[in-house]
Chain A
Amino acid sequence: MDLTAIQPAILIASLMVSSTPILLAALGEMVVERAGVLNLGVEGMMITGAVAGFAVAINSGSPALGFLGAAAAGAALSLAFAVLTQLLLSNHVATGLALTLAGLGLSALVGKPYEGMKAPSLPKLDLGPLAEIPFFGRVLFSHDVMVYLSLALVAGVWAFLRYTRAGLILRAVGESAEAAHALGYHVIRVRILAILFGGALAGLGGAYISLVRVPQWTEGMTAGAGWIALAIVVFASWRAGWVLVGAYLFGGVTVLQLNLQAAGAAVPVALLSASPYLVTILVLVIISARGLQGAPAALGRSFHASG
């Protein structure tokens, strides 16, 4: 096998690209969970975003509109989850699963006519001389706008949760809905807004797969990325900075195994293609063995103001 074919600069650059979908989805889910809601429908929202973004981009010719459409579609699907869990008080786990199953069906249905088409490409952001810097130029300054947007969102979410009043209210709702309610905050409203934000980000993440990473539409193309995003939230102990670390770690594993497959490494292909999932399990085990820290106290519990 030829390991010299794997260049570090390109490896890191492609790592950032392959991590972006998971990063966006995990960041959104982190906010949802900080508000005390466990939405297991990330996979369904991602795949819906992937197909919606692809369809809008093809029909309008604009990838930017595609991403907007994907965010809207992800949010719309998450609204169904919000109505069920927040207004009709259904079980979070079961409803999230329903969302994933419905999302997979919906996306397959909508995406049928788009199979085999090619998406309009998202141009790389022209950063002029910065991109010329050896190594760092290739790694840091040769990406499309979504990569930078995802990084900006990490910083934004971190600052929002840490420094703003609204972020404090959101965390209060997630720690103790009863206390937040007693203080006069609208628990249900805060949670619905958080769910919509999570849905929009999952939709963006899905669209990044279908518009940039692949860039095509195939049925079931998210292939568990939504579930890995859920695992990353646990890995990150519900902190924005660690979501970034987690997502890039998993992106790294994915890119590395693809590169090893291409380089013809003497490792069974089945093991390589299963490696992102095996690593996820391994990381979950290590994190859990240490004891879960930072889980919102009211995570996954329905709230009903009984007057």
Chain B
Amino acid sequence: MIALEKRPQPSRLWRAATPLLAVALTMLAGGVMFAALGADPVEAIRVIFWDPLFDPDFAAYSRPQLLVKAGPLILIAIGLAIGFRSGVWNIGAEGQYIMGAICGAGAALALYPAETRAILPLAVLAGALGGWAWGMIPALLKVRFGTNEILVSLMLVYVAESILASVSSGLLQNPEGMGFPGSRNLAQWDAAANRELIAGTGMHWGVLTAFVAVIAAYVLMSRHILGFQLRLSGEAPRAARFAGVVPGRVVVICFAISGALAGMAGFFEVAGPAGQISIDFGSFYGFTAIIVAFLGRLHPVGILLAGLLMALTYIGGELAQLMLGLPAAAIQLFQGMLLFFLLATDVFVNYRLRLGRREAA
């Protein structure tokens, strides 16, 4: 008989080890999946995890992509993780990301074709405000009426997608686009473009902001009284209330931070890698960031590493599509499995296995 026995203290060793174990298990299960799809599993794993970084033919292109893809994931996940640690479940980051992109691009395009350096920071601010405002809807409904924030934030993703479809063939449509849906290309307009800062690295303003957010989140959560209050409300809501932490304030702060960060990520994406507002702009980053946040143990440094790893699976997945003809959905499933295995192995942080018969209670 195998039984689980609660540890007196959560194991620090396991807390660090489970993400690695989960990655290893996902590679195994993924290998089986790739074999079932008719690809050589070892080769598939190599193409996904090794070739984007070290293959002489592809690395020059795909290495910079690592930061391009990791930037938005890290930026969004940092905000989500602050909420998750505080017991506030913002699942609608994808919607905040889309609204940030729309508001940022809208603010910039309102000034088209001006050429001043103020446009980019202005648009970033507008993007952050857009994501913030979209996040405030579930937060305020939760505080005022006690509405479930998971469901409301998620419903708002679909609303944001409707708005995106509407503006890309309406309000923000490129007047010189010959009637095609989609806005002007921001990446080709110097004043608003989110350009690569160091050539050949993929480093753009969004990636830089993500790194700053990692440091800021670390300081906030580990060194600041507000971070302590947030963590307290996540781990012991009643104790937090006795300590004078107002629950509504926690909800609003968490949604404000995560909404604004997701909104900024949306604008950086639309002004750089994506280029324009179009109907298929929504890229699932808002959902994948949830995996990144958990894989990074809800800790800023962990999220940095997890974001890079998840970006690698994106790029490797594209490469595997190209080289081995693996379907794009296989990578999505691969990422989903990663979260599954992580949650499954997490049991060992708080419990240990005990073999042998359970004694009578």
* Pairwise interchain contact A106-B336, C-beta atoms closer than 8 A: yes
The 9 closest A-B pairs by CB, nearest first: A102-B336, A105-B333, A105-B332, A108-B329, A270-B166, A274-B162, A109-B329, A98-B339, A101-B336
**B165 beta carbon closer than 8 Å to chain A:** yes
* Residues in A neighbouring B333, C-beta threshold 8 A: 102, 105-106, 108-109
* Residues in B neighbouring A269, C-beta threshold 8 A: 166
Determine the distance from Cα of A97 to Cα of B351 in the docked complex, in whole angstroms: 23
* Pairwise interchain contact A93-B150, C-beta atoms closer than 8 A: yes
Determine the distance from Cα of A108 to Cα of B331 in the docked complex, in whole angstroms: 10
**A273 beta carbon closer than 8 Å to chain B:** yes
Q: Which residues of A from 237 to 292 have beta carbons under 8 Å from B?
A: 268-271, 273-274, 277-278, 280-281, 284-285, 288-289, 291-292
| In-complex Cβ contact of A80 among B141, B155, B288, B340 (8 A) | B340
Q: A91-B343, A289-B145 are in contact. Are A270 and B152 (CB under 8 A)?
A: no
List residues of chain A with CB under 8 Å of any chain B CB: 40, 80, 83-84, 88-91, 93-95, 97-99, 101-106, 108-109, 112, 219, 223-224, 227-228, 230-231, 234, 268-271, 273-274, 277-278, 280-281, 284-285, 288-289, 291-292, 304, 306-307
Q: A268-B166, A304-B4 are in contact. Are A277 and B159 (CB under 8 A)?
A: yes
**B28 beta carbon closer than 8 Å to chain A:** no
* Pairwise interchain contact B329-A231, C-beta atoms closer than 8 A: no
Number of A-B residue pairs, CB cutoff 8 Å, is 141
* Residues in B neighbouring A270, C-beta threshold 8 A: 162-163, 165-166
Can you list 22 A-B contacts with CB-CB less than 8 angstroms, sorted by A residue number? A88-B347, A90-B343, A90-B344, A97-B91, A98-B336, A98-B339, A99-B340, A104-B332, A105-B335, A108-B327, A108-B332, A109-B327, A109-B332, A224-B155, A227-B151, A231-B151, A270-B166, A271-B162, A278-B155, A284-B151, A288-B148, A289-B146
Q: A270-B162, A274-B162 are in contact. Are A105 and B329 (CB under 8 A)?
A: yes
Determine the distance from Cα of A88 to Cα of B344 in the docked complex, in whole angstroms: 6
Closest chain B residue, CB of each to CB of A269: B166
| In-complex Cβ contact of B155 among A93, A219, A234, A281 (8 A) | A281
* Pairwise interchain contact A102-B340, C-beta atoms closer than 8 A: yes
* Pairwise interchain contact A285-B145, C-beta atoms closer than 8 A: yes
Q: A80-B340, A105-B333, A109-B329 are in contact. Are A90 and B150 (CB under 8 A)?
A: no
* Pairwise interchain contact A285-B166, C-beta atoms closer than 8 A: no
* Pairwise interchain contact B339-A101, C-beta atoms closer than 8 A: yes
A-B contacts besides A40-B150, A90-B344, 5 pairs, CB < 8 Å? A84-B340, A88-B347, A90-B346, A109-B333, A288-B148
Closest chain B residue, CB of each to CB of A228: B155
List residues of chain B with CB under 8 Å of any chain A CB: 4, 6, 89, 91, 141, 145-148, 150-152, 154-159, 162-163, 165-166, 287-288, 290-291, 294, 327-337, 339-340, 343-344, 346-347, 350-351, 358-359, 361
* Pairwise interchain contact A285-B327, C-beta atoms closer than 8 A: no
* Residues in A neighbouring B334, C-beta threshold 8 A: 105
* Pairwise interchain contact A234-B151, C-beta atoms closer than 8 A: yes
Among B165, B332, B358: residue with most chain A CB under 10 A: B332
Closest chain B residue, CB of each to CB of A276: B158
* Pairwise interchain contact B162-A280, C-beta atoms closer than 8 A: no
* Pairwise interchain contact A89-B329, C-beta atoms closer than 8 A: no
* Residues in A neighbouring B328, C-beta threshold 8 A: 108
Determine the distance from Cα of A277 to Cα of B161 in the docked complex, in whole angstroms: 11
Determine the distance from Cα of A289 to Cα of B140 in the docked complex, in whole angstroms: 12
* Residues in A neighbouring B162, C-beta threshold 8 A: 270-271, 273-274
* Pairwise interchain contact A89-B340, C-beta atoms closer than 8 A: no
Determine the distance from Cα of A270 to Cα of B169 in the docked complex, in whole angstroms: 11
Q: A40-B150, A93-B89 are in contact. Are A304 and B6 (CB under 8 A)?
A: yes
Closest chain B residue, CB of each to CB of A292: B146
Determine the distance from Cα of A103 to Cα of B287 in the docked complex, in whole angstroms: 13
* Residues in B neighbouring A89, C-beta threshold 8 A: 4, 347, 350-351
* Pairwise interchain contact A288-B340, C-beta atoms closer than 8 A: no
* Residues in A neighbouring B165, C-beta threshold 8 A: 270, 273
Among A97, A99, A230: residue with most chain B CB under 10 A: A97
Closest chain B residue, CB of each to CB of A101: B336
* Pairwise interchain contact A227-B154, C-beta atoms closer than 8 A: yes
| In-complex Cβ contact of A307 among B150, B291, B358 (8 A) | B358
* Pairwise interchain contact B155-A285, C-beta atoms closer than 8 A: no
Determine the distance from Cα of A295 to Cα of B337 in the docked complex, in whole angstroms: 31
